[in-house]
Amino acid sequence: MAKKIIVSNRLPVKAVKKKNKFVFTSSEGGLATGLGSIYTQENNIWIGWPGLEVIENYEQKEVSEKLKELNLLPVFLSQEEINQYYEGFSNEVLWPVFHYMPTYAKYKQSYWDYYYKVNLKFKEAIIQIAEPGDTIWIHDYQLLLLPAMLRSEFQNISIGFFQHIPFPSYELFRLIPWRAELLEGMLGADLIGFHTFDDAHHFTIAATRILPIQSSSNLITINDRSVVVESFPMGIDSKKFEMLTSNDEVILQINNLRKNFQQAKIVVSIDRLDYSKGILQRLLAFELLLQLYPGYIEKIVLYMIVVPSRDTVPQYKKLHDDIDKLVGNINATFRTMNWHPVQYFYRSFPIETLSALYNVADVCLVTPMRDGMNLVCKEYVASRVKNDGVLILSEMAGASKELIDALVVNPNNIGAITSALVEALHMPLTEQQRRMKQMRQLVSKFNIDHWVKLFMTRLLEAKQQQQSSLTRHINGEVLDRIKTLYNQAGKRVLYLDYDGTLVGFKTNIDMAFPDQELYDLLHKLSADPANNIVIISGRNHKTLEEWFKGIRLDLIAEHGVWQKRHHEQQWQSIPGINNKWKPEIQSILDIYTDRTPGSFVEEKSFSLVWHYRKVAEGLGELRANELVNTLRYIIEGKGLQVLQGNKVIEIKNIEVNKGKAALSRMQNNEYDFILAVGDDQTDEDIFKAMPPEAVTIKVGSQISAANHYVRSYHYVRQLLKQLATTN
Ligand code: GDG
């Protein structure tokens, strides 16, 4: 029976060693709870590092057996692997760069070598148990290479990948020496998920700029496989936090806290020790509040929990020292006999204490410099069963995209955090309730179970989508069918677009002339008297004539403006079209050409073309969109159309259309085999105009009116070669 395999760096267990024996219990963390509905069922399994420092060889059997009872499979790591792969590459390269702190990154070759090696170790563990038909869900930045490593073993297995931390803008990501390998690793998955739309967008931009691949909305195509990239904002187990508020132990702790801080408003802050969390900035904002508004003295406390983490690493140790110092200063400056402004704890607490704090806190202060999502703010919201309380939330946390009713602040703006604190402390109850109700509805609906279901459903859909596009891709079977149809036919017509279809796309348009291989191919095809080969292109008619002189080809140039049969000397143009519109449009194109280095205008007999293939990536697309928007109004009522091709915008008469040209060519001709091949938007008109029995092929994209597609012009040539030699 097909199974589901969850993979993450750490297993969801709490482990202790008592009297030389290991005891494991399942963790109660949010992710573990959410995925519990998957991995604890049937033969499903979760694979990861058990998280204990180093487990000696002789202990591994015992540990594996104990974990097996919990549906868990361990990947054991040596001390060196932990140091280099986990502390090293994951936490000293990926973590800082992905959190926009590139100056903290250390690009050590040995870190990378171990990262690769440990990802391989995970792969080895997985292939021992994975079978075709299984679904694998890989989590987070420690395992970016694993999807492609698994893909090389199993072509058809479903692989989902979710990244819990941000994906940075291309400008930061490109700094990493192993950027291409990381992207290729991730793209082994069928579905790649992030918390926010921005992360997904950053990933797609990085992938398409760094690798020679293309994307279309949320689909990336790599090696004939489509990968879906989407955002799935993670939720929490909101019921659990609601229920905790009526737990006896929690109520006891709530009462104690209330007793201790009777007069004071409580501001809560909970984080792991990390430079991405903005802990120092938060303290500075609190200090500023006390400086500017001494009226708050003895009337407010900041209850701050910092959970110890990586504090042997120098940056973390320094941060720890700086926090200690700043808390000390604030307390020393403002404390009174009965009151400490900052209640600071450098340790972790049981969840009951967290719940009690969420309950008594008038304000929750969550101000990371960067955070993938941030679950603390959602836990606070879920715990506010009376709908009161105020959340102050950094706009750099993924959660700020959903919790728009929070007081959203820029964490670098200390003054703005202080002002938000003042606003929160004075917010009328009705306003608190209005905001909190909205946020509670959202946190409750988009909970962790919802997130898991959404991801799994999308993964299934992505796989189905892939299968259906595979059936459209020209494989051996389809090719045989096309060959049979071709062989059986006595009178054939082949419509072949030129750029991108018969030759590759060149930055310089004049360099894309036909090569010897293409000439040989066209000679061979046209030598068969049953064939009518038609080159149907947007190119200038003179260029086509020059290139294809002496070959028995029919030519349709400038998208149908000009036509010439192989036996004719003269070109025929569509009657009744005029050029009176050209000067006005030319002046607009000139403005865009002056503003866009690398762009140029080409004048054809009955059209004007703005080319941007030499323009910087991104800028060209931006200008092209602007130009299309401008032209839309100007061409109204003038009988013109704007065509968006591959790196070109073409303005021409509405009568001119490759589809119409191809159709008119077929009148009075009874063809029993029709083939049309093209790569860009203008070829869609041909595909749509063709009768249903025609074989239509789109090059490079699956999104088309054509009934088949191939990856590139190389495949078109292969196909034509096979047809030419098929008799
Ligand atoms: C990654 C991303 C993303 C904290 N102190 C104690 C304690 N906690 C719990 C909180 C919360 C969790 O730890 C921290 O939540 P984060 O959202 O910061 O998650 P991380 O796992 O650190 O980080 C982050 C997340 O993944 C999920 O995708 O949101 O952006 O960095 O649940 O309650 N729990 C207990 N005692 C503590 O003292 N029991």
What are 257-313's pLDDT values in tens digits?
999 888 899 999 999 999 999 999 999 999 999 999 999 999 999 999 999 988 778
Quick one: pLDDT at residue 53? 67
Pocket of ligand 1 (CB under 6 A): 30, 164-165, 234, 270, 272, 305, 307, 348-351, 354, 371-376, 379
Residues taking part in catalysis: 497
Instruction: For CATH 3.30.70.1020, list the domain ranges present in the chain.
Output: 582-653
Per DSSP, 17 falls in state: E
- DSSP tag of 89: I
Task: Locate the ligand 1 atom nearest the alpha carbon of residue 195 and give its number.
Answer: 28
Walk across the sheet containing 673-678 and list its strands.
572-573, 562-564, 554-557, 531-536, 492-496, 673-678, 695-699, 708-710
H-only helix segments in 130-247: 146-151, 170-173, 179-186, 197-210, 238-244
Tell me if residue 159 falls in helix, strand or coil: strand
Domain with CATH 3.40.50.2000 in the chain: 4-231, 238-446
CA 376 to ligand 1 center in whole angstroms: 6
Distance from C-alpha of 114 to C-alpha of 84, rounded to nearest angstrom: 6
Q: How many CA atoms lie within 13 A of 518 on its CB side?
A: 18
pLDDT at residue 727 in the model: 59
Distance CA 551, CA 570 (A): 15
Cβ atoms 388, 432 nearer than 8 A: yes
Identify the segments of the chain with pLDDT beneath 50. none
Q: What is the pLDDT of residue 52?
A: 67
At 718, which helix (H) or strand (E)? helix 713-724
| Predicted pLDDT at 722 | 92
Q: Which of 575, 493, 480 is nearest to 533 (CA)?
A: 493
CB of 547 within 8 A of CB of 513?
A: yes
What is the Å distance from ligand 1's center to 370 Cα?
A: 14
Nearest atom within ligand 1 for CA of residue 28: 39
pLDDT for the residue numbered 173: 98
Class of CATH domain 4-231:
alpha beta
CATH topology of domain 238-446: Rossmann fold (3.40.50)
Select from 268, 349, 376, 381 the residue to mutate for testing ligand 1; criterion: most ligand atoms less than 8 Å from CB.
376
**For ligand 1, atom 1, which residue shows the shortest CA distance?**
164
Task: Specify the residue for token string 């062989």.
Answer: 487
Ramachandran quadrant class, 140 (left: phi over 0; alpha: psi -120 to 50; beta: rest): left
Q: What is the pLDDT at residue 131?
A: 92
DSSP helix, strand, coil percent of the chain (3-state; round to 5): 45, 20, 35
Angle at 340 between CA 338 and CA 341, to 5 degrees: 130
Q: Which residues in 586-638 belong to E strands, given as ranges? A: 600-604, 607-611
Number of CB atoms found within 10 A of residue 243's CB:
14
pLDDT for the residue 56: 78
* Residue 200 to residue 194: CA distance in whole angstroms: 6
Query: Residue 113: what pLDDT?
Result: 98
Residue 13: the pLDDT is 87
Q: Give, in order, the Cα–Cα distances in Å from 713 to each of 500, 505, 677, 717.
A: 6, 9, 10, 6
For residue range 215-270, what is the model confidence (pLDDT) as tens digits? 878 999 888 788 999 999 999 999 999 999 999 999 999 999 999 888 899 999 99
Q: Ligand 1 pocket test: pick from 373, 393, 447, 448 the residue with the most ligand atoms within 8 Å of its Cβ.
A: 373
Q: How far is the CA of 272 from the centre of ligand 1 (A)?
A: 7
Residue 145 corresponds to which tokens in the numbers above? 């290479």
Distance CA 560, CA 660 (A): 8
Q: State which CATH number among 3.30.565.10, 3.30.460.10, 3.40.50.720, 3.40.50.1000 fits the domain covering 473-574+656-724.
A: 3.40.50.1000
Q: Alpha-carbon distance 255 to 264, whole Å?
A: 14
Instruction: Give yes or no for a contact between 585 and 603, defined as CB atoms under 8 angstroms apart.
Output: no
Tell me the three state secondary structure of residue 187.
Answer: coil
Element (H, E) at 314: helix 314-334
Helix axes 713-724, 476-488, angle to 10 degrees: 40
Q: Which of 439, 264, 239 is nearest to 361 (CA)?
A: 264
77 backbone dihedrals φ, ψ, rounded to 5°: -120, 140
- The whole-angstrom separation of Cα 652 and Cα 582 is 9
Give the pLDDT score at 609: 94
Please, how many CA atoms are within 13 Å of residue 51, restricted to the half-sphere of its CB?
19
Instruction: Phi first, then psi: give them for residue 358, nearest 5 degrees.
Output: -55, -35
For residues 38 and 50, give the distance between their C-alpha atoms in angstroms, rounded to a whole number: 19
For ligand 1, atom 34, the nearest C-alpha belongs to 351
Fold of 582-653: Alpha-Beta Plaits (3.30.70)
| DSSP string covering 223-290 | TTEEEEEEE------HHHHHHHTT-HHHHHHHHHHHHHTSSSEEEEEEEES-GGG-HHHHHHHHHHHH
Which residues are 228's β-sheet partners? 191, 219
Ligand 1 atom 38, closest CA: 348
Strands (E), 62-206: 72-74, 135-139, 158-162, 191-194
Q: How far, in Å, is the centroid of ligand 1 from the Cα of 364? A: 15
Residue closest to 602 by CA, chosen among 589, 619, 583: 589
Distance CA 714, CA 711 (A): 8
Element (H, E) at 383: helix 376-383
∠ CA 39-44-49, rounded to 5°: 65
